[in-house]
Structure 1
């Protein structure tokens, strides 16, 4: 079988082959690149009990500030020969200073030991300086390179475990409320979703690798959440990327001492939750480390029907073979049993212009608890990290992620008029998915002459599989102004037994092969450019229709895609002010179409291309971080249906656009006080399509704002007592593609009180204090959200 049948596809094949050969040719050469000709200062900061002080700040000659990594290590490069003053600072600690002499071509060492223990240090972080980490927003996974936020020519947000804990967030979508311009939601099957820059994303990466989840994502095992803005296929491929951005959540890793936390949470709607985080070395020399996160939760819905039980098991192991080689293994297993979100939409028969004009009791669900679904998600990652030299690291990743519905029943409810609702049940029995990914990265940080280069060269293979049986059953049409009959799962079972015909019963398989390279080149210490390129070859092995016992026509195909990424950063004030701009590309595969005259239209990948520019600030010795950016995203090659001579034809020339402004400010201006604030403005529209030209995408508001602030007492008899409050605002957004019905604008206000004393943590939170009735969208359906509710937690740390 020929893999490519056109000249363009053969060109992409040759380009991909050449790209791989060039990458393999240059790696050995780059490994021998000239070392820096200037000096280096490195060191480690520890607590008085020998643990890494991972939140410490290093100050060079009262000018340059950097932060130690998770191991307490710092490194300052490209220094001229001479004498320097190095200081280490931390909230609540007196600064320590050392004088260091730097010689050309040599590495000087300056280690520090704080006068505080790791446990007490952690208490200070939790109640006094939690956002100093978030303000740095350093993330190697956002760019797959060792870049700090000011050096990265794109926008991203980080929600760390301290902010997650203070807000008492339980699910991934709750954390999205801290992302500027983002609107959190859930799909009909309960998976997290969010709108960003005019587009919806229902996929999530875990530790930079593809997932394939069929449950929600519990935050029990999550260290931080990263939201990378814009189309990011260059480093993350096509299947996991939406044109408005992607979400990558980083899981908790083992550390070199025994410790952990157990907690119990209770709240409204009969919420009961137990969680545990246990860490321990498995051998005396602490080279084999183990950590496990567990959670079990039961909760009812805020409406008259609906409930769910969640179970989370997330073990992880780190094996430190030697100072060069490390293995990581982690798993995340989550199960859900209960009812699913009710999905709502409208039809042309609705005359109301807003959902709040439809007079159904907000707490009336029109479903029944007998419609139980069983869902699971399993994700496994193995990583080998090998330090090849002082300047090069090899990172080999393997990931297997599967999810499924053993028996999914969720209500898809149509407003057929202002007073009538068609109750449909979507049945998946079963639906099984899997993604397997193998990834090899070579990450370099080296100098050629005086020019610093940070490079990642990677190969990526992704295999994707889905097998499902599906049917939609119209149960009845009810009038909300009259008595509404109950509905039971037994009624559905009776109908299925009388007519077992399925709408779909199919299996599909895809394979993606890719190579990519990204280089950040320092023209000077203040000016750097990024050049990146990814080449993908996509092989769809067809969708087998078990009803007809043949492969669905046109589903067996091949495509190729190129995804460039360019960026520039200029820091007029080094390490404090950065001007940045980027051009980024993302793609989604599309299936060839069959015209009504029998001709086949070859498909092209759908592309989203972004231009973005803005300013980043890091002020007050890393206590205030701010970003403002303008973006413009153009979509091309979307499938478009048109009619000619009474026949239907397809073309891949549809277009859309999205533009806007985003701003974010994170601060810890003085000890104990922290805040995070964000704002997003977006305008998006379809510019070339079969219908709805000029209309906005479903569920994408023009204005979104978020704010959270907290204050904790660091001294006195009430030391450890703190308060937090915040709000999220969303302007109105459309429910339907024709833009005739809206979800009303809303402002949701939350508040929390917490108290940390010795090894105990107490917390109380009120959600939606104003009892706002509001809806969110996942890009397809609308979902009603919970009214006022409360939760309280007690935790013991050891």
Structure 2
């Protein structure tokens, strides 16, 4: 019996010696010795890795004898590399401390099976310093890559439906100056104008294939981001895909309703330990559900990351795109007289009529580049130097339909069901240059810990517009029947209509210099306060004055403060916060005419100011299985410029409640949901008293909501389902004293998907607007939205 035992023991030891199945493990904390959950630990040049649990512990198994390098990385922290050796035994690295910094994740994120995978609130952008969501006094929504994949998102508009309180007002028009889409946030219009934390031009519709995630930062955010890329309701930051350490990628092919087709290739290569290259490119097209309409997009996005040493990293990214689209149907309602209809039913509009032609399109050619020098000065201090630039061109015909009276009938009121088509031959270019320098670090005053940001930025913004003046083509009724003018919408007729009308020849330039400082002070481990301030100097150079042939130039300065307080009754699990945030907007000077004398003079305006007070609570409970944010905000603008009267005396109050929840209640089930209520009112308007008591025009609906659930079962199979919607709203509130109201009806849209995925491929089917609901968006306009769509997607991963 004894000999059998010895033989068995020898066989087991021999088997273990041959199998060489060993592991490496460790515990990851921040520099305050707080455990970090969800940190990526990867064995370099292998596919083996793991994420830390709630205690900061990771374990990577199935390692053979040999020398290895462990890469430990986390969003908002400096990546650390640690050498270790496996020698016939498991290896315990022990405690690993990560230090905070602006560096983005440079390694593969192992999150296929990640707990609460729709949650990702670590960000190097929101505060321009690494703060956990639960210790940040500002509210923001993150639309993660995993959520985009689960929903088979193919348009940027689809992605933004996942942000609480965000609703679309206008689709992207592609026109000069403001061709990006408009969305309402907290009662104010905002456009996506921030890319990777700096100004980025998005005049055309955005192809989401190069989007890693979207951050919707709430409330006036002028203190850290200035006024050019923000609104009083917040800002939209697009995070693009970055290089990582390793070789791999994927190819995606999609097809579906209305000739939808998509091809995308995303490849990453690391030829050595220091260099990583990534190339992402693709093509996408789709026709409209209406009788005419199309969109086409092609883009290439190479990026490179070079690690000079453990303290210095150079990053560069570039994106070039060309988007072509027909003018989406915008029915502009008359703003100057009583409407003859107050609803879609009374108008009698058939949403399948586009009133356009596939022969007339507008093209946007866009280039964005961003260079970064990330330098770790010490374990406590880091430097980030950024240079970015953008060029966007708008070329082609832009058209819109304006609601007019029937001049053949003198008794017909303004707002009869007739629409005149106006056109412009667009030829404009927008160009920006952005320089930014940030220093972030930690230090102590006595026993009190400080996290400090000191930064400065310079933005040069120029719009050159050589487009034609506006011309008239024809008038139609709501059924599309010709009433007057040329019957066909084509290039020949539009060219003839615009002939001899002249060109705008507009050249406007702004130079903005800003400097800011922000300090987060940890008075106690559970109590922190934040104080920030920004200084901006505006230099506006506008068009020549026709009366004097002089160029206009105007300068102004402003200060923008920000304060916040966070108390954590349960450390890293529950926080209560309050903030005061400031936003501002530079108002371009306007030429006005004194009709009593006929003289033209330049009217300058003060910088608009908005103030927000907000309170709320954030949670990361049950080992991050329940992440939620609930807040109440109150925003006041007391010197808003009103274009109709060219006066600056509007006072607006916008207040409301927002809720966002990301939860992983049981294994395999992930839920993302949001709710928003907004009450917006023009409280004072001396120059236009008829506006007082009205909802502000760009506020959109009072209530919006979204929900998406993804359940994965049998390891590889999964289903997803959800809905999004909003209540009705008056799209003519700014003009209803003259026009009356027109209500955009509320709606609820249902979507669902099913998929199979493994390490090699993913195949999915998706249905959007399953009930084929007819619904609309609008901002003094009416635009029908997408009907039912079925999509199929295949992704090969390597």
Instruction: Flag whether TM exceeds 0.5 (same fold).
Output: yes
Contact 2:35 2:56 in 1 (8 A): no
Q: 1:54 to 1:590 in 2, by over 3 A?
A: farther
CA contact (8 A) 2:333 2:780 kept: no
CA contact 1:129–1:674 (8 Å) conserved in 2: no
8 Å CA contact 1:53–1:71 kept in 2: the answer is no
Q: Is the 8 A contact 1:424 1:472 kept in 2?
A: no
With 674-683 and 729-738 compared, the bigger mean Cα shift is at 729-738
The offset of 1:188, in angstroms, is 2.6
Which residues of 2 match residues 76-91 of structure 1 at below 5 A?
A: none
Equivalent in the alignment of 2:746? 745
Secondary structure of 1:321's counterpart equals strand
Q: Secondary structure at the match of 1:142?
A: coil
2:157 aligned with 1:173: yes
Who is 2:316 aligned against? 329
1:722 maps to what in 2? 718
Deviation at 1:216, TM superposition (A): 1.3
- 1:680-717 Cα deviation digits (max 9, x unpaired): 0001122233332222233510000000001011x4xx
Q: CA 1:108–1:254 in structure 2 vs 1: closer, same or farther (change >3 Å)? A: closer
Range with greater deviation from structure 2 (690-699 or 781-790): 690-699
**How many Å apart are 1:496 and its aligned residue?**
2.0
- After superposition, residues 764-783 of structure 1 pair within 5 angstroms as 764-777=765-778, 779=779, 781-783=781-783
Distance in 2 separating the partners of 1:541 and 1:695: 35
Give how far 1:361 is off. Answer: 1.2
Equivalent residue number for residue 634 of structure 2: 632
Partner residue, 1:584: 581
Instruction: Report the counterpart of residue 794 of structure 1 in structure 2.
Output: 794
Q: Cα distance, 1:640 vs. partner? A: 5.1
- 2:158 counterpart SS class: helix
Match in the other structure for 1:315: 302
Shift of 1:289: 0.9
Partner of 2:8: none
Segment drifting more, 599-608 vs 529-538: 599-608
Deviations 1:298-319 (A, max 9, x none): 2111110111211011110001
After superposition, what is the alpha-carbon deviation per residue over 1:521-544, rounded to whole angstroms, capped at 9, x for unaligned? 000110000000000000002224
User: What per-residue deviation string (whole Å, max 9, x for no partner) do you get for residues 568-598 of structure 1?
Assistant: 0000111111000000011110133546266
Q: Is the 8 A contact 2:327 2:356 kept in 1?
A: no
**Partner of 2:424 in structure 1?**
427
Q: Based on CA coordinates, which of the two structures has the bigger radius of gyration?
A: 2
C-alpha separation in 2, matches of 1:787 and 1:611: 39
For residues 239-281 of structure 1, the C-alpha deviation after alignment (integer angstroms, 9 at most, x for no partner) is 1110001000111111121100001100111011100100001
**Contact 2:173 2:180 (8 Å CA) reproduced:** yes
Partner SS state of residue 242, structure 2: coil
Residue 338 of structure 1 deviates from its aligned partner by 2.9
Q: Which has the higher contact order (CA 8 A, sep 6+)?
A: 1
The answer for the alignment partner of 1:411 in structure 2 is 400
Match for residue 623 of structure 2 among 621, 634, 645: 621
Q: Using the TM superposition, give the Cα deviation of residue 399 of structure 1 relative to its aligned residue in structure 2, in angstroms.
A: 0.6
1:755 corresponds to which residue? 756
Match of residue 26 from structure 1: none
Q: Tell me the alpha carbon deviations over residues 603-623 of structure 1, each in whole angstroms, 9 at most, x when there is no partner.
A: 111111100100111111011
Matches within 5 A, 1:62-81: 72-73=72-73
CA contact 2:250–2:797 (8 Å) conserved in 1: yes
Report if the CA contact (8 A) 1:422-1:474 is conserved: no
Summarize the Cα distance change of 1:45–1:369 in structure 2 as closer, same or farther, 3 Å threshold: closer
User: Which residues of 2 match residues 176-575 of structure 1 at below 5 A?
Assistant: 176-184=160-168, 185-189=170-174, 191-281=180-270, 283=271, 285-347=272-334, 348-414=337-403, 416=405, 420-468=417-465, 469-480=467-478, 483-484=481-482, 485-497=487-499, 499-502=500-503, 504-544=504-544, 550-551=549-550, 555-575=552-572
Aligned to 2:661: 665
Shift of 1:61: 10
Residue 279 and residue 548 in structure 1: after superposition, are their counterparts in 2 closer, same or farther (change >3 A)? Answer: farther
SS at match of 1:370: coil
- Residue matched to 2:15: none
- Matched with 1:698 is 697
Indicate the SS of the match to 1:695: coil
User: Are 2:173 and 2:204, in contact at CA under 8 Å, matched by a contact in 1?
Assistant: no
Is residue 696 of structure 2 the alignment partner of residue 711 of structure 1?
no
Task: Decide which of 681, 687, 690 is 1:685's aligned counterpart.
Answer: 681
Give the match for residue 9 of structure 1: none
Is the Cα–Cα contact under 8 Å of residues 753 and 767 in structure 2 kept in the other structure?
Answer: yes
Query: In structure 2, what is the Cα distance between the partners aligned to 1:608 and 1:580?
Result: 20
The answer to whether the Cα contact below 8 Å between 1:356 and 1:744 also exists between their aligned partners in 2 is no
Give the Cα–Cα distance (whole angstroms) in 2 for the partners of residues 357 and 335 of structure 1: 39
May I ask how many residue pairs the two structures share in their alignment?
Answer: 703
Q: Is the 8 A contact 2:40 2:51 kept in 1?
A: no
352 and 571 in structure 1: CA distance in 2 versus 1, 3 angstrom threshold: same
Deviations 1:143-180 (A, max 9, x none): 11110000100100101111111111122221111111
Within-5 A mapping of 1:82-101: none
Aligned to 2:84: none
Q: Tell me how far apart the structure 2 counterparts of residues 97 and 573 of structure 1 sit (CA, whole Å).
A: 34
Q: Distance in 2 between matches of 1:54 and 1:224?
A: 22
**Structure 2: gaps spanning 5 or more residues:** 1-29, 59-69, 78-89, 99-106, 406-413
Residue in structure 1 matching 2:612, options 606, 610, 613: 610
**Unpaired runs of 5+ in structure 1?**
1-35, 63-69, 78-95, 102-106, 110-117, 643-647
Q: Deviation of residue 297 (structure 1)?
A: 1.4
For 1:672 and 1:48, locate their aligned partners in 2 and report how far apart those are by CA, in whole Å. Answer: 29
- The answer for the alignment partner of 2:23 in structure 1 is none
Separation of aligned partners in 2, 1:561 and 1:76: 30
Q: Distance in 2 between matches of 1:684 and 1:97?
A: 60
Rounded Cα–Cα distance in structure 2 between residues aligned with 1:372 and 1:153 = 45
Change (3 A) 1:415 1:571: farther
Tell me the SS of whatever aligns to 2:470.
strand
Residue 311 of structure 1 aligns to a residue whose secondary structure is: strand
Q: 1:53 to 1:450 in 2, by over 3 A?
A: farther
Give 1:565 shift.
Answer: 0.6
Q: 1:316 to 1:48 in 2, by over 3 A?
A: closer
What is the deviation of 1:71?
5.5
**Structure 2: distance between partners of 1:340 and 1:461:** 34
User: Any conservation in 2 of the 1:419–1:480 contact (CA below 8 Å)?
Assistant: no
Once the two structures are TM-superposed, the CA of residue 747 in structure 1 deviates from its matched residue by: 0.6
TM-score by length of 1: 0.83
Structure 2 CA distance for partners of 1:496 and 1:50, relative to 1, 3 Å: same
Q: Is the 8 A contact 2:123 2:130 kept in 1?
A: yes
Change (3 A) 1:147 1:53: farther
Instruction: Give the alignment's Cα RMSD to 1 decimal.
Output: 3.0
Look up the SS of the partner of 1:578 in the other structure.
strand
SS of 2:157's equivalent in the other structure is: helix
Report the counterpart of residue 20 of structure 1 in structure 2.
none
Shift of 1:51: 5.5
Deviation larger for 452-461 or 471-480: 471-480
SS class of match (2:556): strand
Q: 1:50, 1:560 → 2: CA distance? A: 54
Closer/same/farther in 2, CA of residues 289 and 780 from structure 1, 3 Å limit? farther
Question: CA offset at residue 99 of structure 1?
Answer: 11
CA distance in 1, matches of 2:220, 2:48: 36
Cα distance change on mapping 1:542 and 1:621 into 2, 3 Å: same
Partners of 2:471 and 2:501 within 8 A in 1: no
